[in-house]
Amino acid sequence: MRRSHYLKHRELARFLVHQRVKYFSQVYQVTPGRISIRNQKTRWGSCSKRGNLNFNYKIVLLPTHLADYIIVHELCHLKEFNHSANFWNLVALTFSNYLEIRKELRETKIVYK
Ligand SMILES: [Zn+2]
């Protein structure tokens, strides 16, 4: 059940993520490495030290502002590999309301359909 849900949404997730990564990479002047779409239980996204980005396929089921926040968050890690004040200042260039968005994201429950 979970596997078929993943396979059903993976390609759309890949398309959406690539579009938005391309856009925000220009905004932030960063060059990400490989982008992977994964079926993860607990994480929305991650950034490796090598600059490769992973995103949860369920990002495609989120409202646009939440999906964009996750993408901006991981792209900002290409400049600041931590959650320092500098990092959050970068995020705030796009999402000055990132505290609200993080709260909204924590409260989001994705339902399998
Ligand atoms: Zn982070």
Residue-wise burial string across 32-47, b where 16 or more C-beta atoms lie within 10 A, e elsewhere: beebebeeeeeebbbb
Domains and CATH numbers, the chain: 2-106 (3.30.2010.10)
Residue 83 CA to ligand 1 center (angstroms) comes to 6
Query: What mean pLDDT, rounded, does the chain reach?
Result: 93
Distance 12 CA to ligand 1 centre (A): 24
CA 75 / ligand 1 centre spacing (Å): 9
Q: What's the pLDDT score for residue 15?
A: 96
HSE on the CB side for 21, CA within 13 Å?
25
How many angstroms is it from 11 CA to the middle of ligand 1?
24
| Model pTM score | 0.93
Give residue 1's pLDDT: 59
